[in-house]
A and B are shown apart, each in its own frame.
Chain A
Amino acid sequence: MQRYPIITTRNGKRYFFRFSLMQRVQHIVLFTTVIILALTGFPLRYYDQPWAKPLYSFFGGIDTAPWIHRITGLILLALFLFHTGYWLYLFFKYRIGRLIREKQLSIRNFFKEFFSMEMIPNKKDIYDLIDMFKYLLYLSNKRPHYARISWKEKFDYFAPYWGIPILGPAGVALWFRDEITHYVPGIFLNAFYIMHTDEALLAAIFLFFVHWYNVHYSPEKFPMATVFLTGYLSEDEMIHEHYDEYKRVMIEEGLESDIATLNH
């Protein structure tokens, strides 16, 4: 695995490592496929809206757009499987491998390692959430000090990670509806249809409004955050959004004396 400098300096400013090239490429494939799927799927759901026909025609109309949708869906499903393999590989190589080397492997330690992974929700997220509401409701003047991944980012992560296993297989079942009816009752097609279209609506609204607001539209980020391209976050953003992680990294890198105070 390529090693990235935890802190890099450019034009006298510190930047903190967030995402590897592999993770950024996966994210690019994810948002590209999701956008294409939305553009080729929603005209069908909202067929009677004035924008539906022109948009669908842009993608080749009823003869071509469904095929673009299906092929793109397959790419997204492949990404889901790849990503699952990716984190499983990292998990077993670096965490379970270490336990094996240290002869510490037990069921308890296995789950302990699993739940200590940075994407898995934990107790601190609940405290952070409470702190955040206290701060937003003017019941505290202290912002929550987020670790490497905040609860919001975990929510952003699990939105597609729970959505794809619902949307994808349902979409494949609707695609191969003739074959599937040899094995399951026909009413499953009704269920797959709702699963596919309504989960897609939830995912699209969440990603295009909430996620994009958090990373692009909010006053701190507008017009666009660049971490998804560069993989690095500026020191100001790090202090503002991941203060606990900022302090940890600064101490780890021997820069304890330079740790800035969080301006609440």
Chain B
Amino acid sequence: MSYITKYNILITAFVLICLCPNAYVFAADELNCVLCHKYRGLSRIDEAGNFRLYYINQGLFKKGPHKRVQCKDCHVDIEKIPHDPSKNVDCTVECHLTEPSGDEIFTHKPVAEILAKSVHGTEGDDSISIEYPDDYPYCTDCHDQPLYRPLSFFKGHAAGVSKRGLSRCKTCHQTGDFAEDFYNHVTSRLQKMRVSSEIVTLCAKCHGDNKFQERHQLQANIVTSYRETFHGKATYFGSDETPDCIDCHVVYGENVHSIESKSSKSSATHTSNISATCRSSDCHKNAGEHISGYQVHTDYDDPEKYPLQYHMLKFFKFLMAGVMYFFITIIFLELLRRLFPNFSFIKYNDTKA
């Protein structure tokens, strides 16, 4: 065998080893999509000029909520490999998973139905939703892939598998991954999966844009005004106990997707419900009825809507400016007098007086 032939065989063997998915990948991916998607650099610039990365980290994927779902269950239009650009994922499709509590095929459709009726849904004859349908969120606008957020120990507790807790399930459910999957599914829903600051950032994606607020006849600077409150500042400093947008805008105990406009009588932020919302959770349970009068989203530049705050702030600003200009002037003049001690506008000596 010539040196070149040996060399070619070695190269070919190396390439085949690199291309060949390992046993673990085969187990998670029957269609062998990771044959290509395992490469970190798999990407392109799409028609809109956006950079798109198609790399799938299998280690993270196995820890994610969709680990038992086949790629094709969501990317339903892919029929051949290599495939053409696929359509956006429709989260309401039925996955080929059977819900453990019954025999139904699983789907996110009920969530989508709740969302459609909420303030974030386009259901109904609302003229704004007809005029600006693209402003309304789709599932993936709020739910990024949790597998890219592997540090899910939020709100002071680690979500997911506790080996000690799991050992009780394993007594009976000894085979397969059922215990792990079911335990993960339940425990991850018993606590908030995102820190408060992440929720605020998420809502700010749309509500932080004043043009968006104007299109939907909503108050301007709504995110800024929240961040100026103690709630907002504590959240910024990493508090896991202070309320974010969801805590106040969703009726306590209700699904977050059912969020309503504050003009709706059943909304958490309707004038008649604010005190109940503030007092419903552990935040202000001992507060009086008057807590509803606290204006969270104060715009200090709006004298018509917030006259008290506007004028109080003006008073303190003028007071500070007056005091500081007065003393800075004196300090400046003192230094000047020290610099030119012998200059004088008067010609006679008045120091004897």
* B-binding residues in A (CB < 8 A): 44, 47-48, 53, 56, 61-63, 132-133, 135-142, 174, 177-191, 193-195, 198-199, 201-202, 205-206, 209-210, 213, 218-219, 262, 264
Contacts and interface: CB of A to CB of B under 8 A. Distances in A.
Given A181-B284, A191-B312, 12 more contacts: A56-B237, A62-B238, A138-B345, A140-B346, A141-B351, A177-B287, A181-B293, A194-B312, A194-B313, A195-B312, A213-B331, A219-B335
A195 B308 CA distance: 12
A186 B293 contact: yes
B89 to A, nearest CB: 36
Contact of A136 (B289, B319, B330): B330
Contacts of A206: 323-324, 327
A236 B335 CA distance: 19
A209 B332 CA distance: 13
B292 interface: yes
A141 B350 contact: yes
B319 A190 contact: no
Nearest to A202: B320
A184 B288 CA distance: 9
Interface stretch (B13-21, B125-133, B336-344): B336-344
Given A136-B333, A186-B292, A195-B312, A201 B236 contact: no
Contact of A191 (B233, B285, B308): B308
A135 B337 contact: yes
B141 to A, nearest CB: 25
Contacts of B172: none
Interface of B: 227, 230, 233-234, 236-239, 242, 284-295, 298, 306, 308-309, 312-313, 316-317, 319-320, 323-324, 327, 330-331, 333-338, 343-346, 349-351, 353
A63 B234 CA distance: 9
A47 to B, nearest CB: 5
Contacts of A142: 350-351, 353
Contacts of A141: 344, 346, 349-351
Overall SS of chain B's interface: helix
A178 B286 contact: yes
Contacts of B294: 181, 186-187, 189-190
A62 B231 CA distance: 11
Contact of B333 (A47, A137, A180): A137
> Which residue among B238, B288, B323, B353 has the maximum number of chain A CB atoms within 10 Å of its CB?
B288
Contacts of B312: 191, 194-195, 198
A23 B72 CA distance: 80
Contacts of B316: 194, 198-199, 201-202
A164 to B, nearest CB: 16
Contacts of A182: 287-290
Contacts of B350: 140-142
A63 B292 CA distance: 26
Contact of A218 (B237, B308, B334, B336): B334
A210 B327 contact: yes
Contacts of A53: 237
B101 to A, nearest CB: 39
Contacts of B237: 44, 47, 53, 56, 61-62
Nearest to A213: B331
A193 B331 CA distance: 32
B345 A136 contact: no
Contacts of B242: 62
16 contacts: A44-B237, A136-B334, A179-B286, A181-B287, A181-B288, A181-B289, A182-B290, A185-B293, A187-B308, A188-B293, A189-B294, A193-B230, A194-B313, A195-B312, A205-B320, A210-B324
> Top 6 nearest A-B pairs by Cβ distance?
A186-B293, A182-B288, A186-B294, A198-B316, A136-B333, A181-B288
Contacts of B293: 181, 185-188
B233 A44 contact: yes
B292 to A, nearest CB: 6
A61 B346 CA distance: 60
Nearest to B309: A190
A12 to B, nearest CB: 28
A186 B290 contact: yes
Nearest to A166: B316
A190 B312 CA distance: 10
A34 to B, nearest CB: 17
